[in-house]
Structure 1
């Protein structure tokens, strides 16, 4: 985050736009490389369970998907590893794009950059990094407060750009989210034991608002993330909404969208 100008984009997708979330990720990776500029993308999706590639291996995935649909959630298969996470209006996704060659940041260093970013947003919270094994989508770079996970991360790289993706539970009913994913895995495993999938314990996950003991909106959280960015450069909130309408960007977005459409077919033909 040493760029002099940091461009931001905030998007609140409608349910029918769910594939846009990851299509934009691919297109923004291209744009980051093209412009050699850092970008931060904030986005939200209502009532969606975002599945990881490994979830395709579940023996009774169809039954699990049917259960999610019955609970009022749509499903999306993302183009990265990991496992199922919940998106709703209390969860904020923050994607940090950097023009960078593969050798510029190790995987660990890139994750640490995002962890430092979140810590700077809430300096009074004692953030810990490390796997919370009974959370949903556990990973080495889970972010937790007092042993309860608030956020997870993943990253993606091209030859000349890097994105670190964070989902962070800002507010809402984290117990309900955790129960949803716990039941999804119980149903999809159908009594089988497979250590690749977590035994989700709702007690090990929380939200930032609950940890603060205060009302916290997603818009307030975005404002705080932006405030931290102003300490590292000039914030530009005008350029990206215009650039994403340009024909060249739209062409990259359309190609990425078609890739996402093809990937979704795996949910019915796994």
Structure 2
């Protein structure tokens, strides 16, 4: 098995000798374009169009396989602009005019955990699959081998390593202990182009979720996945030819994993194009992810 040894080098700092620390719940957001987010900032209500207090985000720079800049980022207060088009060079974030599930997800978490500091670690990239053969813009297969050996799984690892390297994420002079509290995963469309690939989705999803759990060193870390849907906005009808097989695999995963849940409301969302939900959909999806995560407690 390739790359698994990388997990042991994460700088999970021990804070036992510190006189005072802040406990911060940290959640990982990952997947492909509907996790990137195609909502428009201009559509946000005032309650979400703001800089959030006591919520920070580390958004790893999304990039295609084989590059060296994937996973770079900085901690910053959560605001809009972490959707499609976001980038970071590790010194400065370039915000976009889009948003994803992170805003409504964070707002709902604040309601569920009042007076609790919250951190989000986000790494996702549109068009990516978890099966190497389904790859369009990148893949999450930890056994991937290419010219540089770098793929989306590596950039996830890099994102988490860089996020944990900062021990005072809000700059208040007090050490922050990041407590892994959940995985949110929205992906699967790019694994539905062929029957062969779609039929492997359950095994790939199970392996990847357990690898992500291992990266955070919590074997039973709660996982909430978003069930993929179809806009039917295609000349042939369906956009994702074998989407039902991926949906079945997602249902199988949450049935067999006692610490996993699924958000099914995606079937009712409207689309801004054949592939992506509209702004209202992303807002609702963030709420539903937080509510599903809370039920797993």
What TM-score, normalized to structure 1? 0.29
Structure with the larger RCO, 1 or 2 (CA within 8 Å, 6+ apart): 1
Tell me which protein shows more helix as a share of its residues: 1
What TM-score, normalized to structure 2? 0.27
Tell me which protein shows more strand as a share of its residues: 1
